Amino acid sequence: MRRLLVLLLLLTSLTAAQEAHCDCQPSLRHLCRCGVLIEQDQAELQLSYLNRLLMAVFDDYLYKSPATTVRVAPAHQMVLEGEAAQGYFDNTEIVLNDSLTRDQALMVLAHELGHAWQYVAQSDPDAISGFLAEGFAEWVSYHLMKRAGLVEYCDRLKKNPDPLYGGGFRWYLNVEEQFGRDAVVKIMRTWLDEKGNLS
């Protein structure tokens, strides 16, 4: 019993020492990459930061974020349709899994902001194909993370082999390269493709 107590104290002190030696600058806490798990105050800071990025990156296209609050929930509550979720958008709130590190949470938040726009633009966004819905959310995330300077995330996104997330993202990126950003936003708002066909 005593050995177990000593081991537990040692693990607790090592965890505390790791957090105490985190090299994140206070002004950059929202971009912290030292492996610290997301907490409510950090998530709120990140949402505020991403909303400012939305204005800077998308300006007239996505001028005001429909996501007004964020909540960090225990991992056991983050099971949707039998699968563990990293995050989701519900009405005006984004919910994040508390097992995410701060940098992971920032990326998930950016993705969920993309879904938030789909819910504003569509009366029944759940009827949209997963390819279009997830691809658009990843497209928004890509541009926000690029603006934040997380280029390694952007590179991983471009290579994502998943047909919904990676394939959908690359499709939107191709539309943007060929027809411009306004074409992507028009697809999200109308679900008509660049040729006027229902997506």
* 126-168 residue pLDDT tens: 677 888 899 999 999 999 999 998 888 999 999 999 999 999 9
As a whole number, mean pLDDT of residues 107-122 equals 88
Residue 50 pLDDT greater than 70, yes or no:
yes
Residues forming a β-bridge with 90: 93
Phi/psi of residue 156, each to 5°? -65, -40
Residues forming a β-bridge with 69: 93
Residue 194 pLDDT greater than 70, yes or no:
no
pLDDT at 198: 52
53's tokens: 């990025």
pLDDT at 22: 56
